[in-house]
Amino acid sequence: MKDLWITPDLIFDGQEVSAGQAVRIVDGKVADLAAGREDALQIKGCLTPGFVDLQVNGGGGVMLNSSPTLAGMRTIANAHRQFGTVAVMPTVITDAPEVLAAAAEAAIAARDDTGIIGIHIEGPHIAEARRGTHDVNSIRVLDDKTMQVVTRLRANDVTVLMTVAPEAASNDQIAALVAMGVIVSLGHTDASADAVESAISAGATCATHLFNAMSPMTSREPGAVGAIINSHLRSGMICDGYHVDDRMIALALRARPAEDLMFLVSDAMATVGGPDQFDLYGQPVRLVDGRLVNAEGNLAGAHITQGEGVRRLVQAIGLPLQQALRMAITTPAQVIGRDDLATLVGQRTQDVVLLSEDLSTVSPLDGVLGSVWGHDAAE
């Protein structure tokens, strides 16, 4: 039996960041936390559960829309794991009905995979005016075909997060999705604040990438942005320095009516852990100076990891590390009812990471312990 106590500089236990805590590792799992122990191995950095990402379009050179298969999902999950994101929700964006159906079957096949925690269906039931890079020819109102796909997913106990616009899904349809156990997220919408609030009353509990692809807030019409900020919806946000100005992120965080309503998403594309170009809807998307742009020169998803998002939240926006980690781990885990993802005790060491002091490096705990045990074995 391999049994070791370690004391990192800091520990994030899913709720708080603390110092002076020791962690007991037994046979590849975190077995216990205790006050400082003299026999513990000192380790630099902050020990934390791995990151949770509820909006991952691609990675490792693969887009889910282009490869809506179990192999595609696994490639995407493995690409993000090397950067500390141990739980991903592969995201299928607006496309033909057969692409959504294939992605759903892949999600059913992947339901027992440790790092794949469900599926995010982002479109096609969105507003054309706020489609972003989504294919205009595939946008449609919520129909029986999609309801059948979602029913099959839920019958197979797959967690489903679904982005819809109030213009493309009635309140009765939203309520029906919620009754099935779907997490309904409002996004890609040009709706008024009243329409957004009506959808919230129907059961929507989440919002997709605040500020991006939604009607803006003005003095006389709060729009989707104002309605979401003023609500108790949990809302994702992209923090790459391109999708949302850092000052707007700080403003939104201060303006929410309660804590832990914002969570970090990467909106990552195939370039994370992959080449700097990929095809989307048959058109090239290129990585140019940190931004992903399509042939029209518009933003087309993000090239960022959750770890990089945490670093930007702390260093560019000035959040305490504890709040940033809650946004990247605890809150997204709560959104999908998986509090177990935001705990240390009981966690496998392969799902725990060590952050360097400047947050520039994310190291799997497995690798750190492997070097330690290898040295002990040599002795």
**Residues that are catalytic:** 267
Distance CA 260, CA 263 (A): 7
**Contact yes or no for 263/332 (Cβ under 8 A):** yes
**Token couple for 253:** 């965080």
Q: Work out whether strand 277-280 and strand 262-265 pair parallel, antiparallel, or are unpaired.
A: unpaired
Q: Which residues pair with 26 in a beta bridge?
A: 3, 29
Tokens 């009981």 correspond to what residue? Answer: 346
Contact, 267 vs 299, CB < 8 A?
no
Amino acid at 65: N
The answer to whether 45 and 17 have CB atoms below 8 angstroms apart is no
Cα distances (angstroms) measured from residue 98 to each of 62, 104, 224: 18, 10, 30
**What letters, b where the CB count within 10 A reaches 16 and e where it falls short, cover 72-98?**
bbbbbbebbbebbbbbbbbbbbbbeee
Distance CA 146, CA 101 (A): 8
User: Peptide bond preceding 124: is omega within 30 degrees of 0, i.e. cis?
Assistant: yes
- Three-state SS string over 145-209 comes to HHHHHHHHHHHCCCCEEEEECCCCCCHHHHHHHHHCCCEEEECCECCCHHHHHHHHHHCCCEECC
Cα–Cα nearest to 195, from 214, 176, 218, 219: 214
Give the β-pairing of 283-288 and 58-59: unpaired
Give the CA angle between residues 206, 208, 214 to the nearest 5°. 115
